[in-house]
Amino acid sequence: MFAAFDDTDSTESMCTTFLATELVKALRVYDLIGLPRLVRLNPAVPWKTRGNGALCVRFGVGRGQGQMVGEIDGIPIYSYERMYEEADRTTVLETAERIVQKWSRTTEGASPGLVVSEGKPAQRLYWEAVRGIVEKEDTLRELQKIGADIVGWEGGRGIIGASAAMAWRPHDRTYEIITYRSPDRWGTPRHLEDGSVRDMDLKYTTTFNNYDHRTDRRAISPHTNCPVLFGVRGDDPTELMNAVFSLRSETPARWLMFLSNQGTDDHLISAEPTLPDRSYDFKATVAEAPRTIAGGHVIVPVSISTGRLEAAAYEPTKEFRELVRALRPGDRVRLFGELRAEPRTLNIEKMQVISTVIERQKVSNPRCPECGGSTKSMGSGGGYRCKKCGHRNELEAESVEVPRTIVPGWYEPPVCARRHLGKPLKRMRS
Ligand code: ATP
């Protein structure tokens, strides 16, 4: 039996993944079938609170060898690949309803949705929600087809995300172990040793987005008052567990491993940008030299087949802006990023420099071909006139090649400025 939910938290507090741990705890008469799923959806959706994440958990009576995938308040949690029997639908529905109702931040703007079903909705619900904007009516029609139970609070917008999470059939996947604090610590400073995060990042190479080695800052713990202590992401579940247990921190009250679409690039549409609030992967030619605007954002105008587009590396992308600033007209690039509506700008999340042009810098006007004297420019397109004999010429100014500071290759922003869904370059090579 699948139970999926979304839109339970506010920007201030809580975390939808914590509800998953509460649900797993409340339904511990059943086993987890597969891992709980943390599914990120379109990061450009204007009404998301933070990371646009939705959750789906499957319950049943497990069959075969169980794997320990978490611990909640001292209770080990096991997951099974196969099951003997489905969990009772009414039990799952009523328990999930009670948990979502109890923990949702409806007074702070949350619009929770809960979906319980034996079968999954069509896969397209996931792809549309991760790459586009979905209408709730469309989701409801699909849910009706599979006979799902649906509960919504305060408009129940979370039904869209919940259904998309349930509809996900991974073609690429990663894992995240999230640890949680005991409630008496919520809102207090988190104790987690940065040095242990740095060491973990270097040692466990299948984990990603943990630590910014340039600024010496960890990226695995949130800055809000939510129950999360930290979350570590990786490609290999066994190594991920070892990585997490190598960290030195306050003792987590719970931890749980999730299967996720984080770090997969599933949100990217392979096409030139058209509609806003979507993310694209496309090739372009740099049209003008980049410029820096107020706030330290770097803007680079690029040409695509439909015309011009302004692409931006925003201030939070830090040193990545230097790379974008190093682009020159004529460079060929492949850009990955979200098209914003207003101003209509592409927020660069990652780029591949395909080829660079030779950059030259003028050092002097040409010498006169008649007498060798120095020349004076006659203005744009007017050529040069010899200061000595008056002869006019159309020669090129003398220039030297300037070494380029950017070479063809792949570039990404630092760990702290990455999208949940963005595939880190580290994963692209694997
Ligand atoms: P957190 O990451 O902290 O869990 P969040 O960023 O996921 O928070 P939500 O509170 O879940 O934010 O709000 C996102 C809302 O947008 C949900 O109601 C979800 O159903 C809806 N939503 C998600 N993706 C889409 C989409 N592609 N089209 C329309 N609505 C969407």
- Tens of pLDDT, residue by residue over 96-114, are 999 999 998 877 788 999 9
What is the dotted CATH code of the domain comprising 174-260? 3.90.600.20
Is 25 touching ligand 1 by the criterion CB < 6 Å? no
User: Looking at ligand 1, which atom is closest to the CA of residue 132?
Assistant: 27
User: Band of the pLDDT at 190, cuts 50, 70, 90?
Assistant: very high
- Tens of pLDDT, residue by residue over 314-332, are 999 999 999 999 999 999 9
For residue 147, report the distance from its CA to the centre of ligand 1, in Å: 23
- Report the DSSP beta bridge partners of residue 59: 32
Predicted confidence at residue 108, as pLDDT, reads 79
List the beta strands (DSSP E) in 73-197: 75-80, 82-86, 113-117, 149-152, 174-180
- Tens of pLDDT, residue by residue over 35-63, are 999 999 999 998 877 789 999 999 999 99
What is the dotted CATH code of the domain comprising 267-413? 2.40.50.1010
- Tens of pLDDT, residue by residue over 375-401, are 999 998 899 999 999 999 999 999 999
At the top level of CATH, the class of 2-167 is: alpha beta
User: Band of the pLDDT at 429, cuts 50, 70, 90?
Assistant: low
Is 9 touching ligand 1 by the criterion CB < 6 Å? yes
Ligand 1 atom 10: residue of nearest CA: 7
User: Band of the pLDDT at 301, cuts 50, 70, 90?
Assistant: very high
Q: What predicted TM-score, i.e. pTM, was given to this entire model?
A: 0.94
The residues, ordered by sequence, that sit 6+ positions from 86 with a Cβ below 8 Å of its Cβ are 1, 60, 61, 118
User: Minimum mean pLDDT among 169-178, 222-231, 242-251, 285-294: which range?
Assistant: 222-231
Domain boundaries, the chain: 2-167, 174-260, 267-413
Quick one: average pLDDT of 13-34? 92
Q: Please choose, from the candidates 146, 125, 124, 127, the residue with its C-alpha nearest in 3D space to the C-alpha of residue 136.
A: 125
Average confidence score pLDDT of the chain: 95
Is 330 touching ligand 1 by the criterion CB < 6 Å? no
Predicted confidence at residue 109, as pLDDT, reads 82
The residues, ordered by sequence, that sit 6+ positions from 244 with a Cβ below 8 Å of its Cβ are 177, 179, 232, 255
Is 338 touching ligand 1 by the criterion CB < 6 Å? no
User: Looking at ligand 1, which atom is closest to the CA of residue 162?
Assistant: 20
Question: In degrees to the nearest 10, what's the CA dihedral of 162, 168, 172, 177?
Answer: 40
* Rounded Cα–Cα distance for residues 392 and 7 (Å): 73
Residue 430 has pLDDT above 60, yes or no: no
Per the rule left: phi > 0, alpha: psi between -120 and 50, beta: everything else, 86 is beta
User: Band of the pLDDT at 14, cuts 50, 70, 90?
Assistant: low
Tell me which of 14, 47, 137, 279 to substitute to probe ligand 1's pocket, judged by most ligand atoms within 8 Å of the beta carbon.
47
Per the rule left: phi > 0, alpha: psi between -120 and 50, beta: everything else, 8 is alpha
For residue 112, report the distance from its CA to the centre of ligand 1, in Å: 10
Percent of the chain with pLDDT over 70: 98
Which DSSP symbol is given to 366?
P
* Rounded Cα–Cα distance for residues 81 and 67 (Å): 9
Ligand 1 atom 2: residue of nearest CA: 51
Q: Name the H helices within 189-319.
A: 194-203, 237-245
Ligand 1 atom 17: residue of nearest CA: 158
- Integer Rg of the chain from CA: 27
| Residue 21 CA from chain centroid, whole number | 23
- Report the DSSP beta bridge partners of residue 291: 299
